[in-house]
Structure 1
Amino acid sequence: MEKYYEVIVRILELLETMDSGLEQVKLKTEEGKFEETLMMFNDLVVGYSSIESAMQPMLEKLPENNLENKSQKMRDSVDQMVATYENKEPAKGLELMKSSLLPAFQEWKKEIEKTIKPYILS
């Protein structure tokens, strides 16, 4: 796992950036600026996809975890949010953000951190 050290560090940094970004999307949506959050949400989707891709080569080397399940929940929540943007449904988007996407992200982030952080602490 030594060869993945730099990748792990970058993943952990990106998770923090995504956390802040999601909070911004939520705040802007609460302010009635749902349309303005589209680019930021798109960046979050790209970040999510980048993390999944970066983790792929190391998955079988990681200890037992619940990443697949947490990733699927995150993927489903992202898909639902995309639909709210496509259908221009800010109220539904905000509700999904609070009830589905934010909790799914926090669970996914926590599982990733729990699984890969020990490799940079040793």
Structure 2
Amino acid sequence: MKISFDGQLITTSLKVTFRGRTLQIDDMIIDTGSSHTVISPDILEDIGVTYENGDDIYEAYGIGGSVPFYTKVMEEIQIDKINLKNIEIDVGVLPKNHNGLLGLDILMNYNFIVDLDKLELYPAKYK
């Protein structure tokens, strides 16, 4: 699938499904420096994702300091024609109103290739 580069960030789109409700999220930053995929709670609120008793909470650390996150399991994440089932993602506030970060947990575990020459994201044929 085609990805975008605005001179600073590489972004893509994906769809998430939670409890039967699906949402397309545009401008997801492809972040090979992030170990986890993170989506803003403001975005996910549209499909009913909220903190519930029993959700795991932890602190994430980065250049800007630390921020609390909780985790949720998405029934499905669709990246182009690739459907990933029962994927755990982090839900937390991101700087500068970013929608989300597509992190290494998905990029590496599902063997995606980020082709910067062609500006494409696709799964490798072989692991």
Name the larger-Rg structure: 1
In proportion to residue count, which structure has more helix? 1
Q: Same fold (TM over 0.5)?
A: no
Scaled by the length of structure 2, the TM-score of the pair is 0.25
Q: Which has the higher contact order (CA 8 A, sep 6+)?
A: 1
